[in-house]
Chains A and B, each alone.
Chain A
């Protein structure tokens, strides 16, 4: 690995963080709690989701500890059910769904389109408060004993056969859903209506396109989850019967409505991450993204196709063969735009001037791990193989590959990439590269054995398992430990960097994009004057000319 780098920092002996920036503009708790500034709201979100990530991670640790041994000895089976359910609920709704959109999206999208803020700042703040209220409700649910239905609330288990706290968990997710809806709504309006002069759709960074596609999913899909949870709560409290076979209802109706949201939800989770990868791969290959139009349209195509594949989660649940056929076909089709992106990023790398700073390590990791995760999705899309693989560890491995190996790595890539812009300081490169490597190794050791476990037949959501599966489970837990270290390190060194990191200057990565033309950290209003966009996205020739004209000073 070469020691070449694109990092270009100002002279550290004279460099200073700009006195006037969005962090210093106003002081006091209320200036944060009543802010309309999208960058402050993004910061609030970043702290909140990190908090929930570690709770979800602790629960994951408990799961892996229990699974070291075949017997359910650390946790009783019921408790284990609660642990994996809470792990899923927190990770999905309180970490993954808001991760890139609410933090990086909120922070960057106004700057990337050349606006002073999102279209609806008060709604943005409301979105964060809804998230906090929902988080509080979920923590309450955990405190009073949790829920053990799995994060999927499957009926009739959740409505008729349990006396755990389904209602409070469901209501927590209901509120979190509205937080998500308002974020997506804000993004769509901003991207349509607040682009600066010269910023045509096809000059937008691909990060914006990806968040736009994810926002469409948020706005159109999440309300269906909301009404579904309302129906579950009504079923449990008033005892109506839409999901109760004894009263003539159909438990499968719940699943149709639930997965109508929850499948697009996985695209809500992954698309913004793909946007990050587009930005990072381009910057660290010094090359425009290959096939910009294809990547942009494939984001929208994933969003549209993603609405019509939901029943692939229900192949064994009793849907008709005809339905299975249609949904299986649609699922195969939705894999195509995702693959297109991988090809485009690969062709971006080809003949690029590649350097391996931390964001690039995470993004390359994404490309490999997401490909594996995505391909294993095709095994599950095919109804015949799905019958054997569903509800086994194969599914668990599949979605952890795309969500953790994919999404979480993309999130970390983005955090590292935009950290200098957000805080004005660089993170320490060597230790962060070490952390990235640790994460990659730990991840593979944790989740690859689970593919094998799944094909061998180990069911998911079981506290106890046949002893012949123990060896692979031990590998998996060992990997989880390494993974935990890999995730802990960034917290430590990123916090350290807030005080001791090198001053970054406006554009340490020499990246294109409007956000890199402003100071680090940015002003509250982003730009003193609305910029005029006069060049294409990822135009490195423009950037070089611009550099030559500019007098560099911090």
Chain B
């Protein structure tokens, strides 16, 4: 049963949200599946030190696709984008500064 949107809803409703089309979702889905296949395939090739680098790089690309499109960040206000960036920044700060201690210890197993 089709509903006439309530007139106040039209004026005040959540219509200011950008609605992302299913075509884009489908495209992102396919991209994610391809990237998954890639990361698994590449892991069979011995690239030495590059294996973890490539794997994490592909994971980062997948994350960006999910964040930008599935989570609508591309169409979100600047504040949302800033929030995501600050979260990643602090996360990286925790990991890198802690790891820096371990890397620089003389008696470590590096």
Which residue numbers of A lie inside 8 Å of B, CB to CB? 192, 220, 224, 252-253, 256-257, 260, 307-308, 311, 318-323, 326
Contact count A vs B, C-beta below 8 Å: 36
CB-defined contacts of B105 to chain A, threshold 8 Å: 318-320
What is the interface of chain A mostly: helix, strand, loop, or mixed? helix
CB-defined contacts of A192 to chain B, threshold 8 Å: 79
Among B53-105, those with CB < 8 Å from A are 79, 86-87, 90, 93-94, 97-98, 100-102, 104-105
Contact A256 B101 (CB under 8 A): yes
Contact B100 A323 (CB under 8 A): yes
Cα of A308 to Cα of B104 in the assembled complex, Å: 17
CB-defined contacts of B79 to chain A, threshold 8 Å: 192
Contact A323 B104 (CB under 8 A): yes
Interface size on B, residues (CB 8 A): 14
Closest chain B residue, CB of each to CB of A250: B102
Given contacts A192-B79, A220-B87, contact A307 B101 (CB under 8 A): no
6 more CB-based (< 8 A) A-B contacts, given A252-B101, A322-B104: A256-B101, A257-B98, A307-B90, A311-B101, A320-B102, A326-B97
Cα of A133 to Cα of B105 in the assembled complex, Å: 42
Cα of A326 to Cα of B104 in the assembled complex, Å: 12
Instruction: Determine if B106 is an interface residue (Cβ-Cβ < 8 Å).
Output: yes
CB-defined contacts of B104 to chain A, threshold 8 Å: 320-323
CB-defined contacts of B98 to chain A, threshold 8 Å: 253, 256-257, 260
Cα of A256 to Cα of B101 in the assembled complex, Å: 9
Which residue numbers of B lie inside 8 Å of A, CB to CB? 79, 86-87, 90, 93-94, 97-98, 100-102, 104-106
CB-defined contacts of A323 to chain B, threshold 8 Å: 97, 100-101, 104
Closest chain B residue, CB of each to CB of A264: B90
27 A-B pairs with CB atoms under 8 Å apart are A192-B79, A220-B87, A220-B90, A252-B101, A253-B98, A256-B98, A256-B101, A260-B94, A307-B90, A307-B93, A308-B93, A308-B97, A311-B97, A319-B101, A319-B105, A320-B102, A320-B105, A320-B106, A321-B104, A322-B100, A322-B104, A323-B97, A323-B100, A323-B101, A323-B104, A326-B97, A326-B100
B105 vs chain A, min Cβ distance (A): 4
Cα of A321 to Cα of B103 in the assembled complex, Å: 11
CB-defined contacts of A224 to chain B, threshold 8 Å: 94
CB-defined contacts of B90 to chain A, threshold 8 Å: 220, 307
CB-defined contacts of A321 to chain B, threshold 8 Å: 104
B101 vs chain A, min Cβ distance (A): 4
Given contacts A192-B79, A220-B87, contact A320 B101 (CB under 8 A): yes
